[in-house]
A and B are shown apart, each in its own frame.
Chain A
Amino acid sequence: MSQGIEVVGLYVRDQDEAVEFYVGKLGFRVHTDARNGNYRWLTVQHPEQPSFQLGLFAPEQPTLDAATVQAMREIVAKGGMPPLVLVVDDCRAACEQMRSRGVEFTQEPIDRYGRVDASFRDPSGNGWKMIQAR
């Protein structure tokens, strides 16, 4: 693939905490972690998906003005960001493993329409749906 989406970013409240979560608990890898002063470009990658990066960005000045930074932090903390979907081979096993690492599940795995799904949140409040691959 030479064309397509390479990076999609999330807003997180703390980038160190986000690395600890996405790498330490979900098993992603750091792809890029570049700093320039206070600015930090941070992306992670699913180990089985080398063509895609998930950006873990902090809403910050001067990219955003102070009021917008505050509004963004509030929206993320209220779970107001759009849904994210993670596909796994075995939803119940993945849930078990992630929970043992301290991931906060908001919905236990349930079987509906022949597919098992569960929900969890990252520490910032971003909500993930975890769905079993067909």
Chain B
Amino acid sequence: MTTSPGRGSRPLAASASQDPELLRRLLRAKDRMDAASHEEWPVRRLARVSCVSEAHFARSFKDAFGVPPHRYLLTRRIERATALLRDTDLPITDIAFQTGWKSLGTFGRTFRDITGESPGDLRSQQKGTLHELERVPACFVSAAQRPALTIAVSEKRRQEARDINDASEPEEAP
């Protein structure tokens, strides 16, 4: 497995402790994104919810929840789109706009980059495979199926491009 040094790969500090009062206010911003992930959430708006400065917000949010706020929002949108693809017969265009994307193209591309499948493929595959989860409250099922977006989408694209280029070379033993 390749790890890319440099940008964005700040080592996990021996988890410096954060003020619980601040964390509670950061959680409020996260909750607000959860409740309305289709809306625009610029850092200014989120910082206001948490009663902190914009610079402080972005850094503290990532320290607290492990991902930058905009990437967290992306995982929620994908999660919601996945649920709508699975549970409704809404046209994919409607789902794209309902979950906060401004264009169908961007939605389809981002969705595929994150989940590995196109929205249409995922829809046909998932229909009817989830009956055993009927007894679990829907919100928990949905959260459990949230994509784990530990790297930026752009980085994921680069990695996948590398993997394709590397495919012909023999695999190195760890």
Contact = CB atoms under 8 A, between A and B. Distances in A.
Given A13-B20, A78-B26, A113-B138, 15 more contacts: A70-B17, A71-B17, A73-B20, A74-B23, A76-B20, A79-B30, A83-B137, A83-B140, A106-B34, A107-B35, A107-B139, A117-B137, A119-B139, A124-B24, A129-B137
B3 interface: no
A78 B17 contact: no
Nearest to B28: A104
B139 A129 contact: yes
A124 B27 CA distance: 10
Interface of A: 13, 70-71, 73-74, 76-79, 83, 85, 104, 106-108, 112-113, 117, 119, 121, 123-125, 129, 131
B65 interface: yes
Contacts, number: 51
A6 B139 CA distance: 27
Given A79-B30, A107-B34, A108-B35, A131 B23 contact: no
Given A77-B24, A78-B23, A112-B138, A106 B17 contact: no
Nearest to B134: A113
Interface in B37-63: none
A106 to B, nearest CB: 4
A115 to B, nearest CB: 9
B154 interface: no
A74 B35 contact: no
Chain B's interface: helix, strand, loop or mixed, by majority? helix
A107 B64 CA distance: 22
A129 B141 CA distance: 13
Contacts of A107: 34-35, 139
A78 B65 contact: yes
Contacts of B23: 74, 77-78, 125
Contacts of A124: 24
Closest 10 CB pairs of A and B: A77-B23, A77-B20, A73-B20, A106-B31, A77-B24, A79-B27, A78-B23, A70-B17, A125-B24, A112-B138
B24 A106 contact: no
Contacts of A119: 139
Contacts of A104: 28
Nearest to B26: A78
Nearest to B30: A79
B18 interface: yes
A70 to B, nearest CB: 5
